[in-house]
Structure 1
Amino acid sequence: MRAGRLNTPATLLELNADIQACELDWMWCGIDTKESAEPPYPTGLRNPAKVAIRAWWDERLRQGRYLRTEHRLFHIDSARDYRGDRAELAITATEFIGEPAQLVRDGRPPRCVRVFLDMQSPWRDENGQVIDYRTRAEVALIEAGRVHTDDRLTARGVTYLVTALPNDMDDGIVRNIWLEPL
């Protein structure tokens, strides 16, 4: 292990069956960019440039879980014990990037989330033809939990109403939602 490189405290998270974040533990890790070239422009909540994370071996660090640092959130794409001695893990992760926002549900406290807003996303009819352009947002399920229509999302000082949840655009990690400004 590279001494002195594990200088970032991170919380290990898991998304449970109720789509709620469960904190498993905290640990020290080292975070570095995996790709040295200029990353492509982001088109969603996921940063297209992969991140390399190093940590002491822990069986709970595995694909599909999340690491949260003070201001960053990562989805673990792979965790490898590359030496085979259960001492160190090399993790490849996707970072969620977006603007700070607040998700509000009736009768519940607001949740702080990251959001990616696409102000001119094509709205398609049942035949797949573009009939309108509307505001679409992406939120991470680990932060937002189960999103419902009529929830409210505040971003950039504007409050939006969640009007629809497209079923074909949900991958279990990031949720797409259609919004209308209030």
Structure 2
Amino acid sequence: MTQTKYWNQVSGEPDLDVGIANAMSKASSVALGIALGDSERPVICLDSDGSLLMNFGTLATIAGMAPKNLYHFVFNNGIYSITGGQPVPAPDVEYAKAAEACGYAVAHRFSDIETLDNAMPGILSSDGPVLIEIIVKGEPQTDGVDQTWESNARLPQQLRALRKRLTGTDDWGSGGPYI
């Protein structure tokens, strides 16, 4: 998910950012859990068309749970960026329409940055779930995916730190997790 590379360069609170490139297609599922766990905090999910296609049922799950604080950005570039730029199998899917059909409160589709920029204040003041589909140029990631034993171990550590920051506790109970 190329977009997270850019987000990491501008984020003001990196300890609240959970990068899950190694868990392709699960960004929206993780964001849903965070949104339900802390309904007072806006949750922004940076997703891609390729990842969303691999977990398409999440649109219905998110709509059914109806978190008012979830803003689901889908960068539609028509390719699987992190695996070399292969085309997605269904390049004509309109994710905003699919989200509306599933029951998202609001869905938008943008193909130019100026229109998106002008709409952002209204979007971020809307009750969610909100899906924002952004048509972007495909940019294959040529430096490969940072998938090592260390990067695979980082996700549970990030999630544990995030849970502690949001809830003030590190007590997972007797069921784990074992990290």
Report the TM-score when normalising by structure 2: 0.24
User: Which structure: larger Rg?
Assistant: 1
Query: More strand per residue: 1 or 2?
Result: 1
* Structure with the bigger percentage of helix: 2
Larger RCO (alpha carbons 8 Å, 6+ apart): 2
